[in-house]
Amino acid sequence: MPDYCFFQKGDQTVALLITDVSGASQLIEEGFEKQFEEISDVNEKKALERFEDIRRNNHIDRKNFLAGAITAPYIGMLAAFITYLFKKKWPKHK
């Protein structure tokens, strides 16, 4: 399977064979930025689909991480408050 690299400018993404140096130079001159990902697939269309899936999954993972990072302290504070209430209601036995 051929290897593809990706160039992106705004919302537009282009897949090129890794060996297409002249095409890559032309895209860079037009303002495209080379992306980190490289994918092996049967054709350009399938490679672009996989690239978009990877980007979509990365975006979902980032959102889920941020949601957890924001809610975790509140859960900790709630657990501490509930523990405080239980300790206050039921004093230690002597």
Q: What is the pLDDT of residue 45?
A: 93
Q: What is the pLDDT of residue 62?
A: 85
Q: What is the pLDDT of residue 93?
A: 61
Q: What is the pLDDT of residue 3?
A: 94
Instruction: Tell me whether residue 94 is in a domain.
Output: no
Sign of CA dihedral 74, 77, 81, 83: positive
- Taking the C-alpha atoms of residue 70 and residue 16, their distance in angstroms, rounded to an integer, is 39
Regions of the chain short of the pLDDT cut 50:
none
Q: What is the residue type of 47?
A: A
Instruction: Tell me whether residue 69 is in a domain.
Output: yes
Instruction: Tell me whether residue 57 is in a domain.
Output: yes
Q: Can you give the residue range of the structural domain that contains 63? A: 3-89
Domains held by the chain: number: 1
The helix/strand/coil state of 51 is: helix
- Taking the C-alpha atoms of residue 83 and residue 33, their distance in angstroms, rounded to an integer, is 53
Instruction: Tell me whether residue 15 is in a domain.
Output: yes
* 17-19-24 Cα angle (round to 5): 70
